[in-house]
Amino acid sequence: MHRLMYTLNDLALMTMLSTRTLRTYIKKGLLQGTKRQTGWSFTETDLEHFFEEPYIKESIEIKKRALINDFVEGNNPGCACMIYDYRCENESQAQELCDKFICKINVLKGRNIRFSFAYHKKSKIGRVIFQGEARVVSKLMNQCIMEE
């Protein structure tokens, strides 16, 4: 079962966009959510609408390419970058996978893990990209894959 609400930090983790950028998108009306005492929260519907915006799609793709290029160019010595394509029968299954990764990463506070997730409807593939300390990235990936 996947989560019903996501925080601003969850969304930042999923998109690799800063919380400041996401707040700007809220002000511009590109991202809808609910302001609570504990901060912003977003439903899956809020996220679906946000991810459908062409400008947002482009911004996220640029961040993903930069993440991989930084690794390939050797800009982050001592880091590992893992890309995992996971077959998902539907969007709900893909979201469950994404939620699992977010929960695992949130437990690793302060470990500087960069994460991206995207679901491609046509190919039914969920793509996960991790970058960070090699040992931590490997452990994180193994934990999530072994649970499948």
**What is the per-residue pLDDT across 73-98, written as a single tens digit (0 to 9) for each?**
888 788 888 888 888 888 888 888 88
Q: Identify the residue whose tokens are 């609408």.
A: 49
Does residue 147 have a pLDDT over 70? no
Please state the pTM of the whole predicted model.
0.70
Does residue 111 have a pLDDT over 80? no
Cα dihedral sign, 35-102-44-53: positive
Name 133's Cβ contacts closer than 8 Å, sequence gap at least 6: 78, 79, 80, 111, 112
Average pLDDT over residues 120-144: 84
